[in-house]
Amino acid sequence: MLTTTTTKVLEPGDLHAALAVLDRDPVANAFVAARVKVAGLDPWRLGGEMWGWYAGGRLESLCYAGANLVPIGAGPEAVRAFADRARRSGRRCSSIVGPAPATAELWNLLEPHWGPAREVRAHQPLMVTRAMPTSVTPDPLVRRVRKDEMETIMPACVAMFTEEVGVSPLAGDGGLLYQARVAELVGSGRSFARVENGRVVFKAEIGAATDLACQIQGVWVAPEHRGKGLSVTGMAAVLGYALREVAPVVSLYVNDYNTAARSAYRRVGFEEVGAFMSVLF
């Protein structure tokens, strides 16, 4: 039996094998799976390379290397192989993010070469639900953002990103890439908001989406409206759209120190099933 291991950059012909790895955990892998199912494995369309780790001639683990470095189904030996390739390639990503155990080990190996990080979020609970809550009435004023409302939604998106990541998405290219991503979500009908007097008071998006699972992201409540329960009823509304129209399983991940958000998500029916980790540069 072959016991040799190797890594390589995957090519379009490796798509079926890569999807098989991604589908082993459709919830944890939703972000990368959504990109691959739309773009395939061509680096130009995918926005980065997909590295594969083989054991005995079989593709066992993946690592997406684009704007984010994301280990997928990676045990200790695969993590070491991906860290070696990443070290030799040099840092091109703005973050490392993925399931906490593999990401922690990947960062442990890369920190002497890539460190220091701007911030390390070592424990971000991964939360999942498959059903609407029975004790929460969805906010009827939360609706899809229309394509002609980009000027309305963008300030809220920028505020959310800046609060969450610690830097403005308008830095560097003036926000062109970020605005394009927001426009993509609006155009695909996956951006939702409650708008009062022309201002967004609650918003969220269904970011990564496959037919197996989807991920809610970018949850934000205007500061002057916090503490009123809008995050609970608003999330229930977005969850309804997600379950009816996108996928049977809905997930999100949240910073462990954000106790208010974790409480709100639990009220909507989300349960913690694991943890992610993020290293921000």
What are the pLDDT digits (tens) for 196-223?
Answer: 999 999 999 999 999 999 999 999 999 9
Task: Output the average pLDDT for the chain.
Answer: 95
Per-residue pLDDT for 175 more than 90? no
Predicted confidence (pLDDT) at residue 237 exceeds the cutoff of 60:
yes
Tokens of 45: 């369309």
Helix axes 176-187, 150-165, angle to 10 degrees: 120
The SS3 of residue 113 is: helix
Q: What is the mean pLDDT of residues 60-86?
A: 97
pLDDT(112) > 90 = yes
- CA 53/CA 193 separation, integer angstroms: 41
List C-alpha distances in Å: 58 to 4, 7, 14, 40, 55: 10, 11, 11, 19, 5
Region of residue 278 (left: phi > 0; alpha: psi -120 to 50; beta: else): beta
Q: Decide if pLDDT at 186 tops 70.
A: yes
- Give me the mean pLDDT over the 174-197 stretch: 95
State the pLDDT confidence band at 128, using cuts at 50, 70 and 90.
Answer: very high
Say whether pLDDT at 4 is over 80.
Answer: no
Tokens of 166: 């610690």
Element (H, E) at 16: helix 15-22
Mean per-residue pLDDT, 167-173: 88
**How confident is the model at residue 3, as a pLDDT?**
53
User: Does residue 280 surpass a pLDDT of 80?
Assistant: yes
